[in-house]
Amino acid sequence: MRRVRIGIVKLWAAASVVLIPTLAVPLPRSYAEARVSHALPSHLARTPPRQGVDALLEQARAAAARGDWDSARRALEHAGRLAPKRPDVLFQLAVALERIADHAAAIAAYRQAIAINDRLLPAIENLAALLASHGDIDGAIYALTAALQQQPEAASLHYHRALLIFRREQRLVGPAIDDLERAQALGYSRPHLFLLLGRVARLGGDAAAARELIQQGLDQAPEDAELLREMGLSLAALGELDAASENLAAATRSAPADTAVAVDLGRVYLRAGRPQDVLALLGDLADLPDALYLVGQAQQALGRPEAKQTLQRFQVLQRRDKATREAETRAMVEVGAGVDSWGSGDVEAAAMHFERALIERPGWTTARSYLAAARFESGQVETAVDLATALLESDASNAQALMVLGRARLSSSNAGSSNAEGLALLGRAASLYPYRTVCLLTLAQAYVDLGRNSEAVPLIDRAARIEPDHPWVAELRRRLGPGAS
């Protein structure tokens, strides 16, 4: 099984490396913020319930309204026991679990609701947002894609998938743009759809079209900082500097902590011949190279003697930031080389690459997690456990660390309690990352090794739906024998 297991880790490692931003394209700050909020709605269609379930739902809504999400959870868990097939109850329970940060249980509840009603859009979209919020963007995209196979005309699913593709790729890509345009064609009209369509138009060189699109978003949300910023940038591209500065100034008032907006406004002020306004706006941002450069240029335009010193400081900061970016790039290259070495069967060489990545980028979670897995595969179990334990102290949802610790517990000589602990750790990874085949198949492998084949089969089947040609799926099914699925 070692050969297959290495292949699984390689696939996961490669996917994780893709998620590292390499080219920043401004997008809504987070998928969770940009999505439509779905929380304990009262309008969901449902079958006639028992009176006790209705009363519990009302208790849950009242508790949620006063911010007592733990009481809401308890009421909804009771309702779920009375009506285990009610998707609206499961959905509302998932919302409450998410609010109290029990993410694994929330993911499971959303999935149960979707299994009963695969057209329950709020559950699908909340599940995708929750997966993305703890780093499983691929899983979130898969959840939306699976839903779109059932509901190809669901405009909001196209929109949310576009957001996630942009977030993963960190650049403009055709599939995401196609999803945005499809969402618009299907009648989706949320403000941030126009934000993204406008941004695509502006970056594509059509600032006039961008202005028209952004205005449609601002008509609905006139104080939205991102829409105001995008309008300002579009107007600046058209040379309408006074109007651009007005919109960007409004954006800074709506989002005073967003230094990027302030820098955009500073650039427009400088283009408009307003150096004094640049100094008033950016004078306190002396640690940001872009802001410092604009301050130096404004000082120079005003003939101030300190301009030279300011621009020299900018060059120092610019060199420092360049060195940091180059180190991060080298670390990414080392991780990629480690993944390749692992795939070719040289786990020791892979570990060396991961260690070199950590020299370039100390504390980097990706490199630390792969190093823990490499140490475990090479038999250095104690070192691997120490690395994984330290990782989980700062990142309790790290799937690789959970799997390393789970496998270590399962390999312990104290079979009784260690098996239970190991399966619990692997189960948590599979719950947090329900569409990550490596998590599903690692748990399935553990069940097969323990002779608990009936518990392995649904995990293998789910993995097969995600990656039908995965070699580990075939290997496990071969071990289980004909008719296992």
pLDDT in tens, 221-279: 999 999 999 999 999 999 999 999 999 999 999 999 999 999 999 999 999 999 999 99
Q: Take residue 286 and report the two structure tokens written for it.
A: 């002396």
Q: Take residue 422 and report the two structure tokens written for it.
A: 């190991």
- 179/157 Cα distance (integer angstroms): 9
Mean of pLDDT over the chain: 88
Q: What is the pLDDT of residues 409-418, one digit of tens each?
A: 998 866 667 7
Answer positive or negative: Cα dihedral of 303, 304, 308, 313.
negative
- 125/37 Cα distance (integer angstroms): 9
**Structural fold of domain 2-11+328-480:** 1.25.40
Nearest one of 274, 333, 322 to 298, comparing CA atoms: 274
Residue 200 in contact with residue 180, Cβ under 8 Å? yes
pLDDT in tens, the chain (485 residues): 333 343 333 323 333 222 222 222 233 333 334 444 455 544 443 444 445 898 999 999 999 999 999 999 999 999 999 999 999 999 999 999 999 999 999 999 999 999 999 999 999 999 999 999 988 999 999 999 999 999 999 999 999 999 999 999 988 899 999 999 999 999 999 999 999 999 999 999 999 999 999 999 999 999 999 999 999 999 999 999 999 999 999 999 999 999 999 999 999 999 999 999 999 999 888 789 999 999 999 999 999 999 999 999 999 999 999 999 999 999 999 999 999 999 899 999 999 999 999 999 999 999 999 999 999 999 999 999 999 999 999 999 999 999 999 999 998 866 667 789 999 999 999 999 999 999 999 999 999 999 999 999 999 999 999 999 999 999 999 999 876 55
Q: CA angle, corner 180, sides to 125 and 143, nearest 5?
A: 30
